[in-house]
Amino acid sequence: MPDGTQIDYNGLIPNNVGLADDQRVRRALETWHPGYIDWWKQMGPEGFQDCPVYLRTAVGVGAEGWAKFDFVRMPDYRWGVLLAPQVEGRTIPFGAHKGEPAWQEVPGEYRAMLRRLLVIQGDTEPASVEQQRHLGATAPSLYDMRNLFQVNVEEGRHLWAMVYLLQKYFGRDGREEAEELLRRRSGDQDSPRMLGAFNERTPDWLSFFMFTFFTDRDGKMQLAALAQSGFDPLSRTCRFMLTEEAHHMFVGETGVQRVIQRTCDAMKAAGISDPYDIGKVRALGVIDLPTIQKKANLHFALTLDLFGSEISTNAANAFNAGLKGRYREDKLTDDHQLLHDTYPVLRPRDGAIIREDVPALSALNMRLRDDYVEDTQAGINRWNRVLERSGIEFRITLPHVAFNRRIGEFSRLHADTSGRILSDAEWSARRLEMLPSDDDNRFIASLMRPSVAKGVYANWIAPPRHGIDNKPGDFEYVHIVR
């Protein structure tokens, strides 16, 4: 039932892609499965593998009611292969093949390019699980612990999503790539994950919330661009992944929001109005607002690097080929080929940052990054409403896109958060005004004590407004078994 909305749960691998009748791919995936479980047990959430966790599992791919909630031990989670329903008569929406029927098989001339996109996408998913594997031990509540594990199992499923495409459409090469995806390790010297941000540490829960807010949102943007793909199985895969991604961003946005809320509440209760009175605020056992800003600066810059260079022939080629579109390509009203258009790109020139029109095809990474910044700003505005309501004179802002970059136009210069270009000496002197210092990190680490009694939250974070699946405040989302 290749385009069914019902999921077949009978085999080892839940799916709606007809694996029961596709012996070759089913065998390949079943052969890969034990290695995946080994990886999960070794590199997945540390210390809680035997605990029943209140998780959602996909039971359909339609818009309504696709999830079912139940207690599951994570290694028993039913990781499946789920594609959004096939759209009858879909055509390639952009690029040189615009208007031709969408590909149901890999177009031979673009095989290598497509494989690279799948592998890069696939590589990020297990990387994030690896980065977050120590966090269970310091969860600020059972609610948060459950959300962490939910994100983790879904990132695991996103790996399955890419591995299915590799196994089904790339034969032997695909099988080799699938093995490699289990072999690389986040932060490993010899065999790191492919993209920069996925080799950074996620040492504390504020980092986790920032990561899901900023970096999972890159996931959303990239998946949205790939969901437009003329390679139909990729489009359908990404469309379903996006429905899961929404929860990851919810976890990040509300996580940081609750940290801000708690800080404001504690400051008000103690009669502190100056957010820069850091010693006094920290003495309350909450995270001061300037440090929250520094963490946001760090994660924003790391995530901007994931968009690649502003000017990129890879991006132009992927668009021309019809493999990777723009954000909401289907809502845009130009010719979807961009051969004659330009797009403004920010670049350094003679000690200043200028805006320059370049051929639109070459600027697609920049464009997606612009869409990302806009989407991110909307979330920041929602954080700031907490500050407004509290009457505290502080607002979270996004740093300039030139700040602290390692990829692209700005990687060879230093700029402050307002985009002023700095000398090396100025940068060294001012760096820690803008980025978390060891001292800041030590302070945050000192707050990371587990809080695992039902309905109890660590002092540095406010409780959520609603439970998951409408559960009451004291719901035991994770049954801790030792």
Q: Are the CB atoms for 353 and 419 separated by under 8 Å?
A: yes
74 phi and psi angles, rounded to 5 deg:
-55, -40
Residue 307 contact, options Fe ion, ligand BYC, none, Cβ 5-8 Å cut-off depending on partner type: ligand BYC
Residue 91's binding partner, choosing from ligand BYC, Fe ion, none, with beta-carbon cut-off 5 to 8 A by kind? none
Place of tokens 């954080």: 383
The stretch among 16-24, 184-192, 213-221, 414-422 that binds ligand BYC (CB under 6 A) is: 213-221
With respect to ligand BYC, which residue has the nearer C-beta, 232 or 440?
Answer: 232
Residue nearest to ligand BYC (CB): 308
134 or 430: CB nearest ligand BYC? 134
Task: Please tell me whether residue 155 binds ligand BYC under the rule CB under 6 A.
Answer: yes
- Count of residues in contact with Fe ion, rule CB under 5 A: 6
Are the C-beta atoms of 152 and 132 separated by less than 8 Å? Answer: yes
Restricted to residues 324-343, the positions that interact with Fe ion (CB under 5 A) are: none
Residue in the block written with tokens 């502003």: 310
Nearest-5° Cα angle at 359, 358 to 361: 130
Amino acid at 292: I
Rounded Cα distance between 90 and 43, Å, is: 39
Is-contact 96 322, C-beta < 8 A? yes
- Give dist(CA 173, CA 170) in Å, integer: 6
Tell which one of 57, 152, 222, 235 touches ligand BYC (CB under 6 A): 222
Judge whether 241 and 250 are in contact, CB under 8 Å. Answer: no
456 scored as a contact of ligand BYC (CB under 6 A): no
Q: What share of the chain is helix, strand, coil (3-state, %, to 5)?
A: 50, 10, 40
Window contacting ligand BYC (CB under 6 A); options: 69-77, 104-112, 310-318, 428-436 = 310-318
Give me the phi and psi of 165, to 5 degrees please. Answer: -65, -40
Count of residues interacting with ligand BYC (CB under 6 A): 25
193 interacts with Fe ion by CB under 5 A:
no
| Window contacting Fe ion (CB under 5 A); options: 2-10, 133-141, 153-161, 397-405 | 153-161
Q: Where would I find the beta strands (DSSP E) of 22-120?
A: 52-58, 67-73
Q: Which stretch binds ligand BYC (CB under 6 A): 141-149, 303-311, 427-435, 466-474?
A: 303-311
Minimum Å gap between C-beta 296 and ligand BYC is 16
User: Counting contacts by CB under 5 A, is residue 219 touching Fe ion?
Assistant: yes
CB 13 within 8 A of CB 79: yes
Residues that bind Fe ion (CB under 5 A): 125, 155, 158, 216, 219, 248
Q: Which residues bind ligand BYC (CB under 6 A)?
A: 117, 120-121, 124-125, 128, 155, 195-196, 215-216, 218-219, 222, 305-309, 312, 314-315, 324, 365, 407
